[in-house]
Amino acid sequence: MVPKESTGFSLLRIVNLGCERDFNALLLDIHAGSLRNGSYDGLILAADVVDKWNSLIVMHNFDTGAVRIDVNGVKKVQFNIGHPC
């Protein structure tokens, strides 16, 4: 559960290690009460996520680079982070 006063922090981070330079492959953050994709376009995945329990499922297929994000049982976004190394 995210407290109501919380904003501007990372909730989940996937980092690609072992490349010449480590980098964030995926970053989800809380900003102004919304869960958003902080890695790419700032897409809001779910609004008003504070002061209640939410389900967050992130599926990452390392072999293909595919990522799928579900919030509260609903598919919100699917994209490919590729293989940078």
pTM: predicted TM-score of the whole model, two decimal places:
0.79
- The pLDDT confidence band at residue 71, using thresholds 50, 70 and 90, is very high
List, for residues 5-44, the tens digit of each pLDDT value: 777 788 888 777 766 665 667 889 988 889 998 876 788 9
CB 71 within 8 Å of CB 44: no
Domain boundaries, the chain: 9-80
